[in-house]
A = this chain, B = another copy of it.
Amino acid sequence: MRGMNDLMNLKDSKKMIQESTRKHEVLYGVVDIGGTKIIAGIASDDALLATKRISTDALKGPDDITKRIAATLTELKEELNLSGSTLSGIGVSVPGPLNTKEGIVHFTGNLKWVNYPVAERLRAECGGISVHIDDDGNCAGLGEAWYGAGRGMKQMVYITVSTGIGGAVIIDGQVYRGHQDLAGEIGHMTIIPNGPLCSCGNYGCLEAIASGTAIGLQGKQLLLQGKSDIVASLSNGRMDEVSAETVFLAAEQGDSACQTIIRNAGTYLGIAAANLAHVLNPEAIIFGGGVMQQSAVLFPIIASEMNRHLFKIQQDRIQVKAAELGDKSGLWGAKRLIASLTKKI
């Protein structure tokens, strides 16, 4: 009986969704392309109706990926009994430097795309409908600004702390892009002049100090220098087993060297947030990304350090918040992106 009920519920749910989307008559494809996974989904104006994860392991090259995304969107429509409906457009969140106007991804590390015209190819695979792309930081920021922790705010800054550090500056509900579409490169603000080398070639960038990669690297150094028995035990003494997760876990288990690494990362994230607060005076600075999800300990350090650097009248008037949409912020942002470009809202 349980199974029967579930089936009924599923059917009812599908019917409701179908009616709801018929009423709205607007459906979007939304895609979040990450380094190791891709999520595709179908969204209405106010809901993610269904999503599906695509593993990139078995896929060969970029065209294989766009074909698979197109096929997945078709599958999702079928599953929702929406095969007859046409998508109004597809919004795509992608990593790496890109050209939003031309829909070209210049470079992605993990997927090894070089100057790949993802928008044009996906458009071709999906019957010529409108496809727009933006980078993962901007999409996640846009998602949080409209549907997450930044709902109702005019100005906010989104910072994603993950393998790298990125983000978005949101003004009047839109991604502020700057002169070359390069605004919001928060991870490459210099926080410690002549600090650690960054992947960008400079020294002392926030990303080189407080990203997941930087935290993991400092954990590896502890192992190499024999300064943490807990890290050695958690990793079985293997360098390639030490990651940011290891450092957080060791800190939780009382390892003081790892606690210092996390305190430093939080402190520098707080200084970066204070600098952004002084320049942009936003309503909130919202932190998302994998590293932030892991650590309840990082957040109070960031907030207290940021407030330490602010004027009295800014303190507690500029919120430090955690992102609310988890790994869906990019999809929500992709929805807002394509909705705003196809409906001119």
Contacts and interface: CB of A to CB of B under 8 A. Distances in A.
| A contacts with B: majority SS | loop
Contacts of A275: 189-190, 275
Nearest to A311: B200
A184 B182 CA distance: 19
Interface in A161-195: 169, 171, 176-186, 188-193
A184 to B, nearest CB: 7
A143 interface: no
Nearest to A314: B182
A1 interface: no
A155 B283 CA distance: 21
A193 to B, nearest CB: 6
A154 interface: yes
Interface in A265-290: 267-268, 271, 274-276, 278-283
A202 to B, nearest CB: 5
Contact of A279 (B155, B169, B267, B283): B169
A270 to B, nearest CB: 10
Contacts of A155: 178-179
A196 to B, nearest CB: 13
A280 B193 CA distance: 20
A318 B185 CA distance: 14
Contact of A189 (B183, B278, B282, B283): B278
Contact of A182 (B171, B193, B281): B281
A37 interface: no
Contacts of A202: 308-309
Nearest to A154: B179
A313 interface: yes
A207 B319 CA distance: 25
Given A190-B275, A279-B183, A311-B182, A176 B171 contact: yes
Given A193-B268, A275-B190, A311-B200, A280 B183 contact: yes
A43 to B, nearest CB: 29
Please list the 5 inter-chain residue pairs (A to B) with the smallest Cβ-Cβ separation, ordered nearest first.
Answer: A178-B281, A183-B281, A185-B278, A182-B281, A189-B275
10 contacts: A169-B280, A178-B282, A180-B281, A180-B313, A180-B317, A186-B279, A189-B279, A190-B275, A190-B309, A193-B267
